[in-house]
Amino acid sequence: MFVLVNLKTYPCDPVEVAEAVRDVDRETEATLSVAPQAAHIERVAETGVETWAQHVDPIAHGSNTGGTLAETVADAGAVGTLINHSERRRRLADIDGAVRAADRADLETVVCANNPAQIGAAAALGPDRVAVEPPELIGTGTPVSTADPDIVAEAVSAAASVDDEVSVLCGAGITDGEDVLAAADLGAEGVLLASGVAKADDPREALEALVEPL
């Protein structure tokens, strides 16, 4: 299982969380990674944890003030990037451009989408992974795998019908190991989560509980 912890802009210590992710990753067969804010990527990557960007723009080198360039986050130490998170939605053409930009910089990609139909469209763009995350469940502590398991199963089918090499992550409301197992049972190959770790009093303890059943 692949576990990607998105720190969003939560008021946590990104290095502390990164060290916890790194240490738990070394103790489990799952692959754990973390996506800090862009300004923290280099500091987080220096801990040795697998580091992802939260976003890249569909741009190249040039006049793009305020843009997030794929090559820049790669130079800072990121190995992958989220694209089209529910809190940073983009048009399909921009998602496609961001995937191409990430490919150009040798970054892995996870394209997020709300539902199985959007998952199919996202998979057609050739990312490494897609993540299904109904926005109404994000941050609620209610996992989509429990609230509406059909969405996860249908997302897995939708991605496979387009490109069976694109794996599916389950996002929204993931908080503990039972949620991870439920996602796996529905065909997901990983999870995308945020507040369950980033807002935890003890991030390492939260991560250990998350991977313990695996």
Find the Cα–Cα–Cα–Cα dihedral 68, 71, 73, 78, rounded to 10°.
Answer: 140
Alpha-helix residue ranges (DSSP H) falling in 13-139: 14-25, 41-45, 70-76, 92-104, 116-123
55 tagged catalytic: no
Q: Are strands 129-132 and 108-113 parallel, antiparallel or unpaired?
A: parallel
85 tagged catalytic: yes
Are 130 and 154 contacting, i.e. CB atoms less than 8 angstroms apart?
A: no
Are 176 and 143 contacting, i.e. CB atoms less than 8 angstroms apart?
A: no
Nearest to 133 by CA among 158, 152, 159: 152
> CA angle at residue 134 from 51 to 169, to 5 degrees?
40
At 90, list the tokens.
């983009």
DSSP state of 4: E
Per annotation, catalytic residue among 29, 133, 189, 205: 133
Nearest to 36 by CA among 24, 54, 63: 54
**Rounded distance, CA 168 to CA 181, Å?**
14
Per annotation, catalytic residue among 19, 40, 50, 85: 85
Active site residues: 85, 133
